Amino acid sequence: MAEKQVTVTEVETNEIVERAKGFWAKFSKPIIYIGGAIILLTGGWLAYKNLVKAPNDEKSAEQIFPAEQLFDKMTQSGFNKDSIGLVLNGGNGITGVLKVAGNYGGTASGNRAHFIAGACYLHNKDFNNAVKHLKEFSTSSKQPQSAAYRMLGDAYAELKHNDDAFTYYKKAVDVADVKDESTRFLSLSRVGLFCEATGKTKEAIDYYQQIKEEITPAFLRDNRIDFQVDKYLARLGVTK
């Protein structure tokens, strides 16, 4: 592994990791699962009501719709084991996203099914399956693609694949629209904290500087986000 691994004996780095964990825990819903609402709200994604496509597209959209509804509800109210099981495997009138992904992989609904499955597996700490499904997902819509890359970064970080984690955190930043403060902040803060925690000091400084330059204090205040970028830069030796 190219970069430093965090160990229990590295007190200073471990403290940074604990701060990062605190941030991630506090904002776990918007950071990790924000893609759920995006999937349902982004124009053109919810084909259920506006389909003028092949029969497979229509059938797959009808099948995934209840699971998408439940997934979206979980992103707002919280994830639980039973609901995740229904979303993944189906039951109670719901077709699981794993079945949709397996049967309709070439459709838009099958693509969304991979995203939802990846998010659910990530929440269940099944990181290998999270990676498997999130890597099958792709879209030209910047918000959900950035969310998928962030989740891939999270999964790889948990698997101690730091090089892969950094690659996907970077991709999350690269694909995020500079005019979309929410997506930019989520992606920049994620990679900045990860770089600091794994000893990539120069990269951490660069990403923190981008936050300072691109994210307005009004955005942080309005969203009640306590991210003291000047403090984080100062602990890395940057005081200007």
Q: What is the pLDDT of residue 6?
A: 32
As assigned by CATH, the class of the 1-31+139-240 domain is mainly alpha
Side chain identity, residue 114: H
Question: Residue 54: what pLDDT?
Answer: 60
CA angle 85, 90, 93 (to 5 degrees): 130
- Can you give the residue ranges of every domain in the chain? 1-31+139-240, 46-138
- pLDDT exceeds cutoff 70 at 1: no
For residue 111, what pLDDT is reported? 92
- Checking if the pLDDT of 170 tops 60, the result is yes
- Residues near 37 by beta carbon (within 8 Å), at least 6 away in sequence: 72, 75, 76
Average pLDDT of the chain, as a whole number: 80
B/e letters for 194-222, b = 16+ CB within 10 Å, e = fewer, are: bbbbbbbeebbbebbebbeeebeeeebee
Name the residue type at position 54.
Answer: A
Beta strands in 124-165 (DSSP E): none
pLDDT above 70 (res 24): no
Instruction: Give the single-character DSSP code of 198.
Output: T
Q: Note the pLDDT tens digit of each residue in 106-152.
A: 888 899 999 999 999 988 889 999 999 999 999 998 988 999 999 99
Q: Is the pTM of this model over 0.85?
A: no
- More reliable by pLDDT, 88 or 186: 88
39: burial class by Cβ within 10 Å (0-12, 13-18, 19+)?
A: buried
Half-sphere exposure of 123 (CA within 13 A, CB side): 26
Q: What is the pLDDT of residue 18?
A: 53
